[in-house]
């Protein structure tokens, strides 16, 4: 990638990070202890990955995680310890938003002949990875807030699964519609 291509990729990533940040602020539903259903806020980061590869995608997702924390998404943990707070930062922000940048990795094996299937599969996989990060956070960091004898695993599965399932469907549908209407958006940069 030459300097012009790098500059173009950087500019595209900056615009898409801004778009993802704005979309994340449009909450369709907000969960009581963090997490929300947004207006397709994961789409820009999946698109970055599919256009520019996992390095650009993960760096953009990482930048997004920092913005999400700065914009008030960081919640105090029930344990209130520095370790719990560090685990929350890693498992609820850094990892789940950064892994969105791996969509290219899962889509690439499908090749050009089955590009649509690859894009949708890659999108699904990164949504599952994001869910898993939140799921483990729910067990490790937030498990102590379970009520009525519900175990931490069941609590985390239902809590995080409830918003991530809807976020996943929204993201897959929007990515699919974008591909159908503007397939050139998904052309990897030379």
Summarised one tens digit per residue, pLDDT across range 118-137 is 999 999 999 999 999 999 99
- Domain containing residue 108: CATH number: 1.10.1760.20
The parent domain of residue 179 ranges over: 3-186
Judged against a pLDDT cut of 70, whether residue 62 lies above it is answered with yes
Q: Computed from CA positions of residues 11, 22, 73, 90, in that sequence, does the dihedral angle turn out positive or negative?
A: negative
- The pLDDT score that the predictor gives to residue 12 is 96
Total number of domains constituting the chain: 1
Who has greater pLDDT, 77 or 67?
Answer: 67
The number of angstroms, rounded, from the C-alpha of 18 to the middle of its chain's C-alpha atoms is: 14
Judged against a pLDDT cut of 70, whether residue 181 lies above it is answered with yes
Q: What DSSP line would sit under 40-100, residue for residue?
A: STTHHHHHHHHHH-HHHHHHHHHHHHHHHIIIII----SS--HHHHHHHHIIIIIHHHHGG
Summarised one tens digit per residue, pLDDT across range 82-113 is 888 899 899 999 999 999 999 999 999 999 99
The confidence band for 30, taking pLDDT boundaries of 50, 70 and 90, is very high
Q: Say what percent of the chain tops pLDDT 90.
A: 73
Q: Which of 39, 28, 27 is nearest to 72 (CA)?
A: 27
Judged against a pLDDT cut of 70, whether residue 189 lies above it is answered with no
Judged against a pLDDT cut of 80, whether residue 149 lies above it is answered with no
């Amino acid at each position: 990638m030459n300097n012009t291509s790098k500059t173009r990729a950087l500019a595209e990533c900056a615009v898409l990070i801004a778009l993802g940040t704005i979309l994340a602020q449009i909450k369709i539903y907000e969960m009581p202890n963090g997490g929300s259903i947004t207006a397709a806020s994961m789409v820009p980061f999946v698109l970055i990955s599919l256009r520019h590869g996992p390095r650009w995608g993960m760096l953009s997702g990482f930048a997004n995680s920092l913005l999400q924390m700065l914009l008030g998404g960081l919640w105090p943990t029930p344990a209130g310890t520095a370790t719990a707070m560090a685990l929350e930062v890693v498992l609820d922000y850094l990892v789940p938003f950064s892994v969105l940048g791996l969509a290219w990795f899962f889509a690439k094996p499908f090749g050009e002949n089955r590009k649509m299937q690859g894009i949708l599969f890659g999108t699904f996989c990164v949504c599952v990875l994001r869910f898993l990060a939140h799921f483990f956070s729910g067990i490790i960091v937030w498990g102590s807030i379970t009520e009525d004898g519900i175990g931490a695993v069941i609590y985390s599965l239902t809590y995080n699964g409830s918003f991530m399932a809807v976020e996943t469907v929204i993201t897959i549908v929007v990515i699919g519609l974008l591909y159908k209407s503007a397939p050139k958006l998904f052309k990897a940069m030379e």
